[in-house]
Structure 1
């Protein structure tokens, strides 16, 4: 079976987003849990500020709001600090991923990704032919397959994989090719729709 296609920048971006999502899954989870706890500290210090103000409300009306700020400056700074850090950590994962992908797209070594690819699938191996290289990958080398609405991703290590746009697969070959993938890489099939 043969598939021929030219990958686009959108394909490259989607491949790397999926790759980073699954390769950094534990790190992303830890960062989000940590940012959640920082948000809890933010709410705790906010509660402390509000209850302190409400308890001494009449005093601060007579003395002025500046006195409240002066007396509670440490709690105010902790509150703002926890809010800022938790927001940065929570959104950092997506922002950092997009930044890394844009950097990868523009890197000269990755320009071969946008050349025409011919993939030949047999029962023993996958032959990959590009303008700049040819390679053979045995089915045993593939560790997992991830299926999305638009793509099939075949990962053969923790840092490399094979992107196959579903639109590049002829309709009459799709079922037999999909069955071949499932037979050869059945231990790690993830569906991300």
Structure 2
């Protein structure tokens, strides 16, 4: 009964909380434009053209760029890099269709399901934790799936996080 009450409380509180799409796009754009080894996470909607399945996923900005390079057969010269970035930035809805299996695999669609995300958010009290995140917040984990679930949940609540690829395993708040 207690668990059901917690789940209902979270469902009601999140249904009344709306994050401005402009803020989500701003965070998305920061992740796309970021060129450091500290990579920011983004949430995008991906349609696998081969199966027709669409789902929301969290991935790093540079993984999305890599998928765009693969999908559009772009190289990695300056011109191609700018073109891939432009494709991403001009996509304000963050919805992508990919046919290339290389591109799809680059995104990591198989790392977790939406059911995993819902269960994670219910058991970690993500809305309560979201209120505690500030510029000093970081979390160490060696579990990539767990990191993606936190990053996905935070992104959808307007909080941009990232992982330092040089010293992986720490999810950190990205300050303005």
TM-score normalised according to structure 2 size: 0.29
Structure number with the higher helix fraction is 1
TM-score normalised according to structure 1 size: 0.27
Greater RCO (CA < 8 Å, at least 6 residues apart): 2
